[in-house]
């Protein structure tokens, strides 16, 4: 069968990438979806177990920084689209290991852009390079205000600086070579398959095991939370309907201080686990703050609402409950991460193919 579009999704074995891959594979049987992922600690092919034998899905274990490997993938599948999510994504790790973030997020994005440009040879008909980015590039807000697409960049962590740099490279390739690019900057995602280093899955796992819940500083920092499937829907829409060289902010219109979110999570978990009211809250432990901790992120997403008709659909109450249910039902997913056996899935499923 010849496929109408051949789209690379980088980072498809990660949290958001796996939701994007599944959505595209199931919704567009006429597309070939090629998941390009290096399988770092954050890459988990168990996230895609249900679709990994679909005939419009392929997996390529590759590093986005590797020019030969990426060129070969473009040629092998005659690729005409890229949705780029691969990144080092955890702010705390960027504080201890900044160079890995520079390498993957900046050098890797530059390599991917250059491979697309070289392969498409300035014939951009039917092509698109979509870069998935973060609201953290805009810096940190005080109590008031929202990030707009026009907000000047002011990244403050090695992670956000590396993402800001990659955004600039994407825009520069769009401007200089007229590569058809589009960028989105999204707020904090939550939902199934998020690696248990991030706030919500880490705290769910610790509550189950009755371990301490490490709240950074006073827990007053504010984040705008979006259910991951709503983000995947926005990515699908922007890939198909977004305008070339444009940027779209995506957010949940759902601001929570960390401590209020954690208290809500504790109450929901007590109910689910039949524990007495307040038992999980007793696990809260205030710890040293994250270095350079951004105070508040909040997205104004009127552009994507007005231009493309997208808005967040999942209420936080419903999304948090779905997330808790998923982690409790799929305890094996967390256990496989804790034992490291999730990294065997590739060997078992792919090395023999
Ligand atoms: P994740 O850490 O869960 O997944 C990242 C994936 O990229 C993993 O599968 C990993 O193996 C892969 N990867 C890392 N380095 C690679 C390399 N050099 N070559 C190929 N693959 C590589 O990340 P996530 O939370 O799903 O985030 C995905 C993207 O969305 C990132 O670009 C991130 O900046 C952006 N983003 C995330 C959020 C969020 O709340 N998680 C919000 C806004 C934007
Ligand atoms: O805003 C989008 C960004 O959201 C994405 O670009 C990043 O990839 C993603 O990791 C996320 O970054 P945050 O730093 O906001 O997410 P994290 O889950 O690490 O932390 C959320 C908040 O909770 C933050 O204020 C720090 C705090 N926190 C986090 C952890 C892991 C704690 O208080 N304790 C913790 O143990």
Q: Please tell me the predicted confidence (pLDDT) of residue 345.
A: 87
**CB burial readout 314-339, b (16+ within 10 A) else e:** bebeebbebbbebbeeeeebbebbee
Q: Which atom of ligand 1 is nearest to the CA of 104?
A: 18
The pLDDT tens digits of the residues spanning 149-195 come to 999 999 999 999 999 999 999 999 999 999 999 999 999 999 999 99
Q: Residue 23: is its pLDDT beyond 80?
A: yes
Checking if the pLDDT of 349 tops 90, the result is no
Q: Which residue has the tokens 């301490």?
A: 212
The residue among 32, 159, 9 whose CA lies nearest residue 98 is 159
Per DSSP, the three-state class of 174 is helix
Give 89 Cα–ligand 2 centroid separation in angstroms: 10
The answer to whether 85 touches 11, Cβ cutoff 8 Å, is yes
Question: Which residues are CB-neighbours of 44 under 8 A, at least 6 positions away?
Answer: 13, 14, 18, 193, 195, 337, 342, 345
- Ligand with smallest separation from the Cα of 40: 1
| CB-CB contact of 116 with 134 (8 Å) | no
351 pLDDT band, cuts 50/70/90, is confident
The whole-chain average pLDDT of the chain stands at 97
Place of tokens 């508040």: 296
Q: To the nearest whole percent, how much of the chain has pLDDT over 90? A: 96
Q: Does the domain spanning 5-193+224-255+292-314 belong to CATH 3.40.50.720? A: yes
Q: Which of 160, 152, 188, 105 is nearest to 292 (CA)?
A: 160
Q: Over the stretch 324-348, which tens digit does the pLDDT of each residue have?
A: 999 999 999 999 999 999 999 888 8
Q: How far is CA 12 from CA 3, 33, 64, 325, in A?
A: 19, 10, 12, 23
Q: Where are the beta strands (DSSP E) in the chain?
A: 5-10, 31-37, 57-61, 81-84, 128-134, 181-186, 188-190, 213-216, 222-227, 246-250, 255-257, 284-287
The tokens of 206 are what?
Answer: 């610790």
Residues with CB under 6 A from ligand 1: 10-11, 13-17, 37-40, 42-43, 63-65, 85-89, 104, 108, 132, 134, 163, 186, 188-189, 195
Which among 169, 178, 199, 211 is positioned nearest to 297, based on CA atoms?
199
Whether residue 121 has pLDDT greater than 90 = no
Indicate whether 353 pLDDT > 70.
Answer: no
Active site residue 294: no
Q: State if pTM tops 0.85.
A: yes
Tokens of 81: 């689209």
Which pLDDT value is given to residue 1?
62
pLDDT score of 314 more than 70: yes
Query: What confidence tens digit (pLDDT) does each residue in 284-302 have?
Result: 999 999 999 999 999 999 9
What are the pLDDT digits (tens) for 130-151? 999 999 999 999 999 999 999 9
Predicted confidence band of residue 122 (pLDDT cuts 50, 70, 90): confident
Q: Across the beta sheet with 181-186, what order do the strands follow?
A: 57-61, 31-37, 5-10, 81-84, 128-134, 181-186, 246-250
pLDDT over 70 at 72, yes or no: yes
Counting other chains too, the contacts that 152-158 makes at CB distance below 8 Å and 24 or more residues apart are 156/292, 156/294, 157/91, 157/94, 157/95, 157/292, 157/294, 158/94, 158/95, 158/98, 158/101, 158/102
The CA angle 161-302-147, to the nearest 5 degrees, is 30
Pocket of ligand 2 (CB under 6 A): 89-91, 134-136, 187-188, 198-199, 202, 214-216, 221, 223, 258, 290, 297
Task: List the end-to-end C-alpha distance of the chain, in Å, as a whole number.
Answer: 20
Model confidence at 352, in pLDDT bands (50, 70, 90)? Answer: low
Cα(94) to ligand 2 centroid in Å equals 12
Pairing state of beta strands 255-257 and 222-227? antiparallel
Residue entry with tokens 């419009």? 56
Q: Is 248 a catalytic residue?
A: no
Tokens of 156: 């403050």
For residue 260, is pLDDT > 70? Answer: yes
Task: Give the model's pLDDT for residue 130.
Answer: 98
């Amino acid at each position: 069968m010849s496929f109408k579009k051949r789209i690379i999704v980088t980072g498809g074995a990660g949290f958001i990438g796996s939701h994007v891959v599944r959505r595209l594979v199931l919704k567009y049987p006429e597309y070939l979806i090629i998941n390009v992922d290096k399988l770092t600690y954050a890459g988990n092919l168990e996230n895609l177990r249900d679709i990994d034998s679909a005939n419009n899905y392929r997996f390529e274990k590759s590093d986005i920084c590797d020019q030969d490997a990426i060129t070969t993938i473009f040629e092998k599948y005659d690729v005409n689209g890229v949705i780029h999510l691969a990144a080092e994504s955890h702010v705390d790790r960027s504080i201890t290991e900044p160079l890995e973030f520079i390498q993957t997020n900046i050098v890797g994005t530059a390599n991917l852009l250059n491979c697309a440009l070289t392969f498409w040879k300035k014939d951009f008909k039917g092509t698109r390079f979509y870069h998935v980015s973060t609201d953290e590039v805009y810096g940190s807000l005080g109590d008031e205000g929202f990030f707009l697409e026009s907000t000047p960049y002011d990244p403050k962590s090695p992670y956000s600086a590396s993402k800001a740099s990659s955004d600039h490279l994407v825009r520069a390739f769009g401007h200089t070579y007229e590569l058809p690019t589009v960028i989105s900057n999204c707020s904090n995602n939550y939902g199934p398959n998020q690696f248990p280093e991030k706030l919500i899955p880490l705290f769910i796992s610790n509550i189950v095991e009755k371990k301490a819940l490490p709240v950074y500083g006073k827990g007053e920092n504010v984040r705008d939370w979006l259910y991951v499937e709503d983000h995947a829907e926005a990515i699908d829409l922007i890939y198909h309907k977004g305008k070339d060289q444009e940027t779209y902010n995506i957010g949940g219109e759902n601001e929570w201080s960390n401590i209020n979110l954690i208290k809500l999570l504790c109450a929901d978990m007590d109910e689910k686990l039949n524990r007495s009211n307040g038992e999980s809250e007793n696990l809260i432990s205030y710890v040293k703050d994250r270095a350079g901790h951004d105070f508040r992120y909040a997205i104004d997403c009127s552009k994507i609402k007005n231009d493309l008709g997208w808005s967040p659909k999942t209420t936080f109450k419903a999304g948090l409950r779905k997330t808790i249910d998923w982690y409790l039902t799929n305890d094996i997913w967390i256990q496989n991460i804790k034992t490291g056996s999730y990294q065997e899935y590739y060997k078992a499923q792919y090395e023999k193919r």
